[in-house]
Amino acid sequence: MEESREGHGLTEDKILSIWMILFVALILLPSIFRVSLGISHFYMKIVVKMLEWATLQIEEGVKKQKAMAPENLISTGIIQRDETPMEKEVVGRCRGCFSLADVMYFSKKGCEAVAEDEVTRRFSSEELLSWNLLSRTNANLHHVSWKLAAVWVTGILIRYCLLLPFRICLSIFSILLLMLATTVVGQFPNGRVKGWLSNQVQMICATLGVRCLSGIVHFHNRENKPQEGGICVANHTSPLDVLILASDGCYSLVGQVHGGLMGLIQKSCMQTAQHVLFERSEMKDRHLVRKKIREHIADKAKLPILIFPEGTCINNTSVMMFKKGSFEVGGTIHPVAIKYDPRFGDAFWNSTKHSIMTYAFNVLTSWAIVCNVWYLPPMVKEEEEDAVHFADRVKAVIAARAGMSVLPWDGGLKRRKVKESFKEEQQKKYCQIVIENGSVGSGSVC
């Protein structure tokens, strides 16, 4: 019996050793050397084929439903929106002079805004063209056919029973490795060796973090990567933006001091890198923020500073107003465009609806996180160009490269009311239309 137990114990040790070897060979070493073994790409090909098959099943099911009552058909939107701009619609009516019928135009636009305005919908998840077999995006589509329902249930078992435990373990390992490695590297004297080790630790841990999500990131135009002493600005969708960019380069971050787990990670990172962190009270002092950023970029030996000028997370369908602060400090701006593929998982963090833990759970139970990152040519402020116009120019370049729409609205509308200045701007716009068509002064009313 004792010999049998000893033999059984050796077998367990061998199994554990095999798992450790596989972990080091398949996860840790590829992350250290930042190479891909092709496992994630093979996994993604399977998921793509499955989603394509599911789309065909749904299309066939919808065709069968066309003969049914209209209320049983799946709706794809709230309202049918007329995108005709004010200039064309108002000028086209009564030849531009003031008309009481203009009231109907503003009433219609008001009703559309109450139902679904172009700003508020940027703070909710992007609408999918087809179901991606995730429970949170399910609109009872699994009832289309029993085959689709079987695949959906199988996907739930794979994501929650197989991928989720593995991703959680790898996430915990990545965080512990980051804290341990930064503590050790932090003991080194300041110099090139410490800087090189710090950069390697940051990139390795960030790469492991991307692997936690079965992430596939396609980087384009690496020759335009941000350089030391510059400012990197990017559109903002989620906290994953930092993780993804850090897996391909090192940055100093600008942000608010956090508590809890995030605060512990921040303190660990501060031991090896010079980030620009502020207390909540200091964030309101724009002059202090600009001063610290200006001091950072003045030292060309420091890492490029990473800023998200929108100031909040947008659902990756548009780029909203860039705050002008980061464009007032001078220096070279390195634009970066980030575009996620919503088919495999929703990377957008709706901070007004979900806590960070709920968001992390949703991301860890998605199929994967897939995105494209474009490094765009550096930009500088032109002569006699103010910070607002420079910010708008950078925003337009990022939106065009990522294929997203440009909105002039402030992302702060997620939590605040519309400024009076925005309302006055629309009123002036209408008055200008009437004045230019000569109705004022002639007293004509149509």
Compute the chain's Rg from CA coordinates: 27
Query: How many C-beta neighbours within 10 Å does residue 420 have?
Result: 8
Beta-bridge partner residues of 120: none
- Output the pLDDT for position 22: 62
Q: Cα 93–97–102 angle (5° rounding)?
A: 55
- Output the pLDDT for position 377: 95
- Output the pLDDT for position 276: 76
- Under the banding of pLDDT at 50, 70 and 90, the label for residue 54 is confident
Which two three-digit tokens encode residue 158? 């794979």
CA 52, 56, 57, 59 dihedral sign is positive
User: With contact defined as beta carbons under 8 Å apart, do 380 and 226 qualify?
Assistant: no
Residues 6 or more apart whose Cβ sits within 8 Å of residue 401? 337, 374, 376
Q: Is 106 inside any structural domain? A: no
User: With contact defined as beta carbons under 8 Å apart, do 320 and 121 qualify?
Assistant: no
CA 227, 232, 237, 242 dihedral sign is positive
Query: How many C-beta neighbours within 10 Å does residue 373 have?
Result: 21
Range of the domain at 281: 217-414
User: With contact defined as beta carbons under 8 Å apart, do 349 and 238 qualify?
Assistant: yes
Residues 6 or more apart whose Cβ sits within 8 Å of residue 259? none
User: With contact defined as beta carbons under 8 Å apart, do 143 and 149 qualify?
Assistant: yes
User: With contact defined as beta carbons under 8 Å apart, do 193 and 200 qualify?
Assistant: no
Q: Is 256 inside any structural domain? A: yes
Which two three-digit tokens encode residue 36? 């891909």
Encode burial over 332-347: b for 16+ CB neighbours within 10 A, e otherwise. Answer: bbbbbbbbbbbbbbbb
Q: Is 336 inside any structural domain? A: yes
Beta-bridge partner residues of 337: 374
Kindly report the pTM of this predicted structure.
Answer: 0.78
At residue 276, the 3 state secondary structure works out as strand
Is the predicted pLDDT of residue 108 greater than 70, yes or no?
Answer: no
- Output the pLDDT for position 139: 64
pLDDT average, residue stretch 233-256: 89
Q: Measuring CA to CA, which residue among 45, 125, 54, 58 is closest to residue 362?
A: 125
Task: Please give the share of the chain, as a percent, with pLDDT higher than 90.
Answer: 22
Q: What is the pLDDT of residues 146-183, one digit of tens each?
A: 888 888 899 999 999 999 998 998 888 888 888 898 88
Question: Domain tally for the chain?
Answer: 1
Q: What is the pLDDT of residues 184-211, one digit of tens each?
A: 888 888 888 888 888 888 888 899 889 8
Q: Which pairs from 172-179 meet CB under 8 Å and 24+ separation? A: 173/208, 174/205, 174/208, 174/209, 174/212, 175/261, 175/265, 177/204, 177/205, 177/208, 178/205, 178/265, 178/268, 178/269, 179/264, 179/265, 179/268
At residue 195, the 3 state secondary structure works out as helix
Q: What is the pLDDT of residues 247-270, one digit of tens each?
A: 998 898 877 776 766 777 777 777
- Output the pLDDT for position 407: 87
